[in-house]
Amino acid sequence: MMRSQNITGIILFLVLAAGCTTQFFPDYDQNQEQLVVEGMITDQNEVNRIKLSKSSPVGQPLVRKPVKGATVSIINEDGIVTPLKETLPGIYSTDSTKFRGQVGGKYSLNIRILNATYSTDFIEMKPVPPITSVYYEKVLIKYSPDSLYRDEGCKIYLDTYDPSGKCLFFKWDFTETYEYQVPYDVRNKICWVTENSDMVLIKNTSIYNRARVTKYPILFITDETDKLKERYSILVKQYSLNEAEYEFWEKVQNISQNIGSLYDITPVAIPSNIRNDNNPEESVLGYFSVSAVAKKRLFIEDQFLGWPNFYSYCATDTVYGNLPPEGLNINYWIIEDYGDETLPFWVVTTYRECADCTTKGTRVRPSFWNEH
C-alpha cells in the first residue's frame, strides 16, 4: 500500500502563474483546527489505512493531532460497506483478508466524527500499466582536473508505457532498503535500514497524447550518504491518477518544492475531494485516493568513485591494561579487542552507532534480500 502522504503543518502560500510565490491568507479562522484526511485504497492484498488528524492553528508548532474514536468506512457502488478499525490513534485500517479493491470498482470514503459526517464521491479504481524498467546511471558530481579526483553519484530512473492509452496521469512513490555494516568485528555488525519516500513524483502524459514516460528521474543519491556502500534496493510503486487528483498533487508539489519537505505543509488553498455533508463550507484538507498499483524493484551493488570513509570518527581512544568497569556499553563501547595480547589493549568508541548497527536499523534480513 502506498504510504499515506503526511500533510501536517500550516503553510499559507499560493503559487502564481508566472512562477512567483507570494503569501496568501485565506479567509478563515486562523485559530481553527482543520480535519486532515490522508490515505488510499488499492488492488493489492494489503492493509489499507486512512489517517485522520487535526491541523495545527497558524503560529502553532507543527504537531499532528490524531482524531480518535471516529467511525470510518468504505462503500462500493453496490452499497457494500466495509468498516475500518482504529489500529493506532487516528489510523483506521481495513482487514486484508476481507477487503481488497478491484480495478473498475467505484469507492467512496465515509467518516463520522461526533455529529459531523464527511464523505467523497464514488471514485473509480483505474488500471495501471506495468513499470517497464527501473535503472540507474553513475553521474559525475565532483571533478578536479589537477588531481584527477572524481566523485560519482547515482541517478535512478524509470520507464513506463500504457499501450491502451488509458493511463495518462501517473504518480510514484518508493521504499529504499540498504544494508548497513559497522566496520568492526562487533556483535551487531550488519543491519538493514528501510526508508519511505517523502517526495511528490507525478507526470502528465496527456499533453503528449500518449501514455509513455521515458527516463523519469526518481531519485538522486549523492556521496553524503552510505546507502550504496554495501547493497541497496529500491521498490518503486506506480499509480494511475484521474485528472482531478493529478491537479491536487501538482499543487502540493509546487508548494513543497518552493517551501521544503512535504511533511512541513498543510496546503489550505488546495481543494480536497472530501466534504462535510452537514456543513459544505467547512474546509477539509488532504485527499482520498483510489488506484491500482504496479511495482518494480531494483538492486544496486556497485562501486562508486570518491566516496568517503563514513566511520573515520569512530575510534576515540585506546585503553591499555584493564578496562574501567564503569560505563562499558553505556558511555563507551569496544570496537577492537586485543585483550589476548601480551600487553592487552582495546580500541573503544564513545559513539554507540560505531559498535551497534541497531541504532540505525534492524538485524532482521528483509525477505526479498536474496531475490537478486
> SS3 of 10, please?
coil
Tell me what pLDDT residue 21 has: 34
Place of cell 575510534: 315
Among 18-22, 258-262, 278-282, the minimum mean pLDDT is found in: 18-22
Higher pLDDT, 266 or 326: 326
Q: How confident is the model at residue 355 (pLDDT cuts 50, 70, 90)?
A: very high
Which cell is 187 given? 556483535
> What is the rounded CA–CA span in Å between residue 369 and residue 20?
45
Q: Is 170 exposed, middle or buried (0-12, 13-18, 19+ CB in 10 A)?
A: buried
In angstroms, rounded to a whole number, what is the distance separating the alpha carbons of residues 316 and 349? 5
Query: Does position 147 have pLDDT exceeding 70, yes or no?
Result: no
Residue 92: is its pLDDT beyond 80? yes
How far from chain centre, in Å, is Cα 299? 18
pLDDT at 195: 95
Let me know the angle formed at the C-alpha of 59 by 62 and 23, rounded to the nearest 5 degrees.
Answer: 100
pLDDT category of residue 56 using cuts at 50, 70 and 90: low
Model pLDDT for residues 274-310, shown as the tens digit of each residue: 999 999 888 888 899 999 999 999 999 998 888 888 8
How does pLDDT run across 261-277, given as a tens digit for each residue?
Answer: 444 455 455 778 999 99
Cα-based distances in Å from 167 to 170, 212, 274: 7, 9, 24
Q: What is the pLDDT of residue 123?
A: 94
Backbone angles phi, psi at 357, to 5 degrees: -70, -15
In this structure, are residues 92 and 86 in contact, taking their beta carbons and an 8 Å threshold? yes
pLDDT band at residue 338 using 50, 70 and 90 as cut-offs: confident
Lowest mean pLDDT among 140-144, 171-175, 313-317, 337-341: 140-144
Q: How many CB atoms lie under 10 A from the CB of residue 67?
A: 21
Taking 70 as the threshold, does the pLDDT of residue 1 lie above it?
A: no
In this prediction, what percent of the chain has a pLDDT beyond 90?
Answer: 54
Nearest to 194 by CA among 224, 232, 226: 232
In this prediction, residue 255 carries a pLDDT of 77
**Weakest-pLDDT range from 63-67, 191-195, 230-234, 314-318:** 63-67
This prediction has a pTM of 0.82
pLDDT band (50, 70, 90) for residue 337:
confident
Share above pLDDT 70 across residues of the chain, in percent, rounded to a whole number: 83
- State yes or no: pLDDT of 260 exceeds 60: no
pLDDT over 60 at 3, yes or no: no
What are φ and ψ of residue 162, in 5° steps? -115, 100
Instruction: Give 146: exposed, middle or buried? Use CB within 10 Å, 0-12, 13-18, 19+.
Output: exposed
What kind and span of H or E run contains 246? helix 243-259
Predicted confidence at residue 17, as pLDDT, reads 28
> How far apart are the C-alpha atoms of 9 and 34, rounded to whole Å?
11
Mean pLDDT (the chain, rounded)? 84
Q: Which helix (H) or strand (E) holds 244?
A: helix 243-259
31 band by pLDDT with thresholds 50, 70 and 90? low
In eight-state DSSP terms, residue 356 is: B
Identify the pLDDT of residue 257. 66
The pLDDT confidence band at residue 18, using thresholds 50, 70 and 90, is very low
Specify the higher pLDDT residue, 324 or 161.
161
pLDDT for the residue 198 = 85
Between 223 and 203, whose confidence is greater? Answer: 203
Above 80 in pLDDT, residue 364?
Answer: yes
Residue 357 has a pLDDT of 94
